[in-house]
Chains A and B, each alone.
Chain A
Amino acid sequence: AQSVTQLGSHVSVSEGALVLLRCNYSSSVPPYLFWYVQYPNQGLQLLLKYTSAATLVKGINGFEAEFKKSETSFHLTKPSAHMSDAAEYFCAVSEAGGGADGLTFGKGTHLIIQP
């Protein structure tokens, strides 16, 4: 069975500082990994995804994530936080591809940006 662990339900950073949101996964097969962002009362927007190509994945809004098989991690980073980045972030895993089966989500990390 697949699972996702997001360390830290809340992360607070200053505007302009590095953003690091942690995600560890468990999967019995090579996984597909995703990061989604959710703004209040809205659905999910895909930030980026890993599908066994390059281990460093670049996404939208300046975010990127690195797949590390040895650490079973897929941490999300952004060099310089912006106020508009304040939102809920979800890491998700799929074993059959992002479109073929339902995703298993982590519990989410609420990102707070301090001015």
Chain B
Amino acid sequence: GAVVSQHPSWVICKSGTSVKIECRSLDFQATTMFWYRQFPKQSLMLMATSNEGSKATYEQGVEKDKFLINHASLTLSTLTVTSAHPEDSSFYICSASPVAGVLRNQETQYFGPGTRLLVL
């Protein structure tokens, strides 16, 4: 149990275009989903926290108008990179925190496999 998927797993796009990344909790409902960014050979940095049905909370230095997050249901959150530029090329990883229940008591967030974005 506790599987999180991301789609696509990798994407190449032209500079100036927008890219949408989906994060789904496959076998549980997620109260909260997190989006992280990882540059090559670096650590994960939290970008934003999204709660179902409410606006996302962005970390300092993350442009909310550039990285649009939608958490429309308890199993799906999307990250849209708008007007992507080469410096946005990175590995984007989402994680999901279960709603109350057995999984919630484990105090863990479950990570997706990541989406590699390359902007040309």
Contacts and interface: CB of A to CB of B under 8 A. Distances in A.
A99 B107 CA distance: 5
Contact of A107 (B43, B107, B108, B112): B43
A23 to B, nearest CB: 12
Interface in B90-120: 93, 95, 97-98, 104, 106-109, 111-114, 116
B32 interface: yes
A41 B34 contact: no
Interface residues of B, number: 27
Interface string A27-58: 00000100010000111111001010000000
Q: Is the interface of B mostly helix, strand, loop or mixed?
A: strand
A100 B113 contact: no
A103 interface: yes
B44 interface: yes
B19 interface: no
Contacts of B98: 99
A79 interface: no
Nearest to A49: B108
B29 interface: no
